[in-house]
Amino acid sequence: MVLVLGIDEAGRGAVIGPLVVGGALIDERDVQKLKDLGVKDSKLLTPEKRERLYAELKRVLKDYVTIHISAKEIDESRERKNLNQIEAEKMAEIIRGLGADVAYVDAPQVSTGKFRAYLEALAKNHTKIIAENKADVTYPIVSAASIIAKVERDWEIEKIKRAVGVDFGVGYTHDERTIAFLKTLLDQHGEFPDYVRKSWITSEKLKEAKQQKKLKDY
C-alpha cells in the first residue's frame, strides 16, 4: 500500500480570519475515487459543491487534518518570518503527522525547488515531497486538501460574521464589503480586533489614513 498525501491552504491572502492548511491522505489505489467524485481545485467549485464534497471526502480518504493559523498568530509570527515560512512549518507538521510515502504540495512560491528543500529540512522524515505551483489543479489529492481547507475557513468566517452581526464578504482586500467593514471597525474602536491581520499592508494603510484624518481634523 502506497499512501499519498496532498496539502493545500485557504485564506493565504485574506485580511480577515485564519489561514487554514489542509492535508488529505489516501491509498494510491483509491485516487480514482476522487476523480469519480468530481474533486477539483476548490476555487472552481460552488460553496454548496464544496460542502457536499467535504462530507463525501471523509468516507473516501484514509485520513485528513487541518491546521488553523489565526490572524493574531500570523501577525506575531511575521515579526520573525515570512508567510511562506509560516506556511511551510505547518505543512511540515502535517507531513510528519500523517507519514505518507509521497506528499504533493501546492507550493506558495515560484521557486518550487527551494520550497521543497525547505519543507524536507523541516519535515525530516521518509516522505518524498513533490512541490509544484497549482498542484491543486494537477493532483486530485491536493484538490481534496484544498476543498477541506476552504470549507473549514469558510466556517470560521461565518462564525466571525455571526459574532459581529455584519456580512463583510469574503475577508479579502479585493472585496469592497471587507474594506468598508475594516473602516467601520477603525471608526468605532480605533483599532482592529484579533481576527483582522494587522500586519497586512491594507490594514496598515487604513489605520495610517485614519490617523492622518484625525490630525487634519485637529
- The full set of domains in the chain, from first to last, is 3-161 (3.30.420.10), 165-217 (1.10.10.460)
Which pLDDT belongs to residue 214?
62
HSE-up of residue 117 (Cα within 13 Å, Cβ side)? 4
**132 Cβ neighbours under 8 A, 6+ residues apart:** 104, 105, 106, 107, 112, 138
pTM of the entire structure?
0.94
Sign, CA torsion 200/96/43/162: negative
Nearest 5°: CA angle at 74, between 72 and 77? 110
CA distances to 69, 86, 149, 191 from 156, rounded to whole Å, are 11, 20, 11, 21
Which pLDDT belongs to residue 217?
59
**102 Cβ neighbours under 8 A, 6+ residues apart:** 2, 3, 4, 5, 127, 128, 129, 130
Which pLDDT belongs to residue 210?
79
Which pLDDT belongs to residue 42?
84
Which pLDDT belongs to residue 209?
86
Neighbours of 202 (CB within 10 A): 16
Separation CA 19–CA 168 (nearest Å): 17
List, in sequence order, every beta strand (DSSP E) within the chain: 3-10, 19-27, 63-69, 102-106, 128-132
Mark the ranges of the chain whose per-residue pLDDT is less than 50: none
Give the residue among 104, 88, 96, 140 at the shortest CA–CA distance from 6.
104
CB 181 within 8 A of CB 49: no
Which pLDDT belongs to residue 117?
96
Which pLDDT belongs to residue 169?
97
Separation CA 27–CA 20 (nearest Å): 24
Which pLDDT belongs to residue 44?
86
Which pLDDT belongs to residue 211?
78
